[in-house]
Structure 1
Amino acid sequence: MRHPALLQADWPAPAGVHGFTTLRHGAGVSAPPFETFNLGLRCGDALDAAMANRDELSRIGGLPSSPAWLQQVHGVGVVRVSEGPRIKGTPPQPVRPSGAAFGRSSDREPLVRDRSSSPPALAGEGAVDSEPEADAAVTSTSGTVLAILTADCLPVLLCSRDGDEIGAAHAGWRGLAAGVLEATVAAMRTPADRLMAWLGPAAGPDDYEIGVEVYDAFVSRDWRAGAAFASTRPNHWRVDLYALARRRLQQAGIEPDAIHGGGLSTIGEPDRFFSHRRDARTGRMATLAWFE
């Protein structure tokens, strides 16, 4: 659905696959500094305002169901979401896709968990409590809406060329370096060479300056990743998250010409995007996907 508060994903997705990122204005009721379309519940905004914005998102976005929101922790956890009644108090059960070994950095906890229930109706604190701790989600169930919150981190949408499976990942620099995109691709039932990706709005390469910690997190493991960094002063670089994400997705098996998006900057476009790096106390955009 076209709306001034929504930025449509620009990718050749199959008919029936929907994806977009929300903008900070054009809808919503949040007061400064979260004006006006903040979708985050943990950034300091009034809960009733953020919940009202989520209700409005469902209306203007034409969503077929309540989004499967996540508690994002800058990790590599992936949740598989499917329909079914939620049993109150029952946590998502761990599953492991065949042919892959998964684990968080400790290798003690399964990476992919099955959320075999539909999200609850958005109604205050219950919505917060129901959100599983993860930084990516995948689904093969039509009408299930995946959602990622960002304010400089990179949101990535995935879909099969057949349009029968989708994924969404939150790729800040920590998660990107740790392998959240590779984990999301591996969690999908569709082979990587049958997937396409869209890179949503993130901190742009002309605006995002980082230090040694970020540089080393990538270059110490892959010296070719150095091409995504441009030196600005001693021990500081501008980093191209889009270039790093494209490299990771290609290494995971996605064809280069199947990776779309990029070229935006949340830091550099204050009229359109929230940016934590720019404003510190700010709201969150949502990037959503589903298929019919």
Structure 2
Amino acid sequence: MNNSVPALKLLKPEWPAPPRVKAAVTTREGGISQGSYHSLNLGDHVGDDPKCVLANRVLLGKLLPNEPIWLKQVHGVKVSTPDARLDEADAVVTNKPNEVLAIMTADCLPVLFTSESGDVIGAAHAGWRGLCNGVLENTVKEMQALSGASSAKNMLAWFGPAIGPTAFEVGTDVLEAYQDAKISFPNQSFVAVPNKPGKYLANLYLLARSRLESIGLNQIYGGHYCTVNQEEQFFSYRRDGVTGRFASLIWISQSK
């Protein structure tokens, strides 16, 4: 069976991260899952055969220095740290070499972080609720605590594959949630859908950028994918309903 498994196809973030910081994003290609989960599904909570999920994680693990820290993501704002590893969290940070941070998504926005020196890294799961409630700000705050940094200006962020601004239709409730939040956002973050009163196209990438810029993090990269429209590469819950999850990964390589 192993001879019939195609090679994993990974995406490498294009950002000026320091050399010791490694990052990658899995695609849906290269695993053994079948049907709606074809083929590299890494989510163990979406109805796929557990044996297939485990086999897929083993395949991925061969490319990593350690087993990833898999979070139970709940669309919240809690951050798992080296001193407080949480079972349920939507972000994770570390300053320890070879600890692999992982965020699983299938439309929500994965955001990877690093300091300019590469001494601390983070990863966050940012759906519209998490973005609105401050998951990115909380992640940066915990990174600052680990590194002793007084500001976020020396940190970098990379936006991974998420549902794009032409595909993410939301209702008035989502717009009102952002209007009620304290942080302002660009007007073009929500574009009214013609002939659909109360419906808007939301731009997760733009909303995330505005949240990070509001705390002084301006070195932002990525944000050019659409999980809904790039069906061959990515799982999409909005598109398919029953589907798998891909992972965005980051770690600090062990110094020699």
Q: What TM-score results when the alignment is normalised by the length of structure 2?
A: 0.90
How far did 1:33 drift? 0.5
- SS for the counterpart of 1:217 is helix
- In structure 2, C-alpha distance between the alignment counterparts of 1:4 and 1:243, rounded to whole Å: 30
- 2:191 & 2:18 partners in 1: Cα distance? 36
2:226 aligns with one of 265, 273, 281: 265
Match of 1:22 among 21, 26, 31: 26
| Aligned residue among 213, 227, 239 for 1:278 | 239
Deviation at 1:223, TM superposition (A): 5.0
Greater Cα shift, 10-19 or 189-198? 189-198
Change (3 A) 1:223 1:182: closer
Following the alignment from structure 1 to structure 2, what is the Cα–Cα distance between the partners of residues 184 and 216?
24
- Aligned-pair RMSD on alpha carbons? 1.3
Are residue 58 (structure 1) and residue 61 (structure 2) matched?
Answer: yes
Matching of residue 135 in structure 1 with residue 90 in structure 2: yes
Q: Secondary structure at the match of 2:188?
A: helix
Indicate the residue corresponding to 2:4 in structure 1. none
Query: Which residues of 2 match residues 140-219 of structure 1 at below 5 A?
Result: 140-189=95-144, 190=147, 191=149, 192-219=152-179
User: Aligned equivalents of 1:282 and 1:64: distance in 2?
Assistant: 28
Instruction: Provide the rounded CA distance (Å) in 1 between the counterparts of 2:202 and 2:116.
Output: 30
Deviation beyond 2 Å, 4+ runs, structure 1? 219-227
SS in 1 for 2:209: helix
Distance in structure 2 (CA, Å) of the matches to 1:44 and 1:8: 28
SS at match of 1:282: coil
Q: 1:41 aligns with which of 40, 44, 54?
A: 44
> Is the contact between residue 8 and residue 26 of structure 2 (CA under 8 Å) also seen in structure 1?
no
Counterpart of 2:235, as a letter, is: F
Percent of paired sites with the same residue: 46
| 30-39 or 221-230, which deviates more | 221-230
Distance 2:65 2:121 in 1: 15
Partner residue, 1:251: 214
Task: Report the 3-state secondary structure (helix = DSSP H, G, I; strand = E; otherwise coil) of the residue aligned with 2:81.
Answer: strand
Unaligned runs of 5+ in 2: 1-6
- TM (normalized to structure 1)? 0.79
**1:192-219 C-alpha deviation (Å, 9 max, x unpaired):** 1110000000000011111111111112
Contact 1:195 1:254 in 2 (8 A): yes
Alpha-carbon distance, 1:252 to partner: 2.0
Aligned partner of 2:15 among 5, 11, 16: 11
